[in-house]
Amino acid sequence: MSGGEVVGVSLYRQYRPQRFSEVSGQSAATEILTRSLAGSRVGHAYLFSGPRGCGKTTVARILAKALNCLAPVAEEPCCECRNCQAISAGESLDVVEIDGASNNSVDEVRELKTHVALAPFSSKYKVYIVDEVHMLSTAAFNALLKTLEEPPSYVVFVLATTEPHKVPVTIRSRCQHIPFHSIGTRQICDRLLKVVEWEGAEAQPEALWEIARQADGALRDALSMLEQVVCRGEGCVRLEDVEATLGGGSRPALERWFSGLRRHEGASFTEMERMMAEGASPQRILEELFALVRNLWLVARWPDLLASLDVSEQEREFLRAESPQWTEAVLRALMSRLVELIGQSRTGLRSDVLMGLLMLDVSRTLEPAAERGLRPGPLEPSRGKARASSARTPPSESKEELASAEAATPVPVVASERALEPAALREEGGANASALPGADWVPLAQDVCEDLLAVAHGRDFVLYCALLHGEFRESEGRLLLGVPYRYVYEVLALSRNRSLLAELFARYEGGVFLRCGERMTSCSPASREERPGDSASDSGEEAEPPRTPLSEAGEDPSDDGGGSLPFDGLVREVSRWMNGEVVLVKRGLDEAENGTIPDEDKDNE
């Protein structure tokens, strides 16, 4: 190095704030300190806590200048007097900065205590700034307790840490704890724009936004990345330079990849491999993708929220155009899976395995929608169960053999249970939504859905719980209740519940319908034969047996020929009392063959 060359000062040191008003994103902390200075109520010890690069040490230095400034201006240091200039240059003997990570022994704290008693050299206050104070040893903390509790009137301690929970409670109780927080993306972007202007460089807005996003709330990291990009771009800050410097996986690249998934382009996998080849961290890609999907879900659920999101104009346009193309269920499923993959990425799993799992989950989520020719929707439990059952069926057995085997197995069914079984469950495959005329179902507004749920909550809490995750749609005066789970559908499809739904939502004159995947059934007001206690109607269905006294409920079931339910009368009586229904009857193998109760069941009874 020649004698005329000088090592340059980094941007984060060159443009370090010198006044409280110049600090970005820490208005609460600076307001506390300025008001303390204005009222002459400065504490003897402060504890600054917060993430890295958020301004803790910077604010501590500004506080030291404000305490020792010879000509303060409205609680702000003048930055022109000899004390301010000495502190800014790090040459003041009365402002001591200590690195707690490398000076953490008890001997160094004892040496510090010997200097605390000395009067200031040229300033009003002696200020000790201990950075990373949580790294001090237990003995060092104990040696500092008395001095920290009752220091001389001219001494102020400022302790800074990124992990306040590691500071002993005895230390925290002797300090005024001022928390610092991560700086917002927009605030970092605004600060970067000012630095670019001071440097006389040119910058693309989206490039600055990408640097701000990658900084993760640390302004110091953002300025360090900006310095690298400026050097690479020879005075220009371009998005391609940011991607090349920081690796792949920028927000615009992930937006292009996500849009390709919706169009089912095979190039999406190639695009993901390219981002990984550029050096992007799998964990960072997954975290950025989660943030993107989260924003899409927020806009899809609450469109008015778009204006308040902390995003760039380019990303705001992407969210506005892309959110109508995705359903909330798909976005929720993607977020849940991304959370799991982020946890797996921290365990050292290979990047190609992680990307394979990601593409597999995305294809599984989108495959049902592609088969039906609809926009992406959630995986249907009923379809998944049907596939699983078909996969377990031996290929050598035909449908006729299975049907004959089922017919030969004596599975008794209570008469009232068969009468209450919904028609959609008795028929193979159920009904189809397209079978209804004018099946263009339109989702109901959020306030209308809440009103319907309130009606169900006031009448039957079980129905309310079953409808919580349902989807309400309307078409020509008809109401469609879509539920995602087969079990919930079967509960709602019981005759009593269908009749109750029809009564609750009688405002829809065209009728109320239930749907789960490809299965569908209609709800109608209860007829007389469906109401407990009423006589049989002319429909020909089997009437419910008359009410049996409790004393007669325990008759021997063998009189019915072995085909009835053991203790049938007692079960029916309890069902009437509890307003319940028999949903499933399961017999043991010995009982099914001989009509007797197994010995182990007798012992249990």
pLDDT digits over 258-306, tens only? 888 877 666 777 888 888 877 778 888 899 999 999 999 999 999 998 8
What are phi and psi for residue 174, nearest 5 degrees? -95, 5
Q: How large a percentage of the chain has pLDDT more than 90?
A: 31
Report which listed range, 179-188, 367-376, 502-511, 548-557, is most confident: 179-188
What is the reported pLDDT for 418?
A: 37
DSSP state of 249: -
d(CA 150, CA 271): 62
Average of per-residue pLDDT values in the chain? 77
What is the reported pLDDT for 156?
A: 95
What are phi and psi for residue 432, nearest 5 degrees? -120, 145
Closest to 301 (Cα-Cα) out of 449, 433, 185: 449
Mean pLDDT of 320-337: 89
Q: Domains in the chain, start-ordered, CATH in brackets?
A: 11-179 (3.40.50.300), 185-246 (1.10.8.60), 251-372 (1.20.272.10), 412-530 (3.30.750), 550-604 (no CATH)
Torsion of CA 298, 299, 305, 308, to 10 degrees: 90
d(CA 266, CA 272): 11
Mean pLDDT of 422-435: 39
The answer to whether 205 and 225 are in contact (CB under 8 A) is no
**pTM to 2 decimal places:** 0.60
Confidence category of residue 430, pLDDT binned at 50, 70, 90: very low
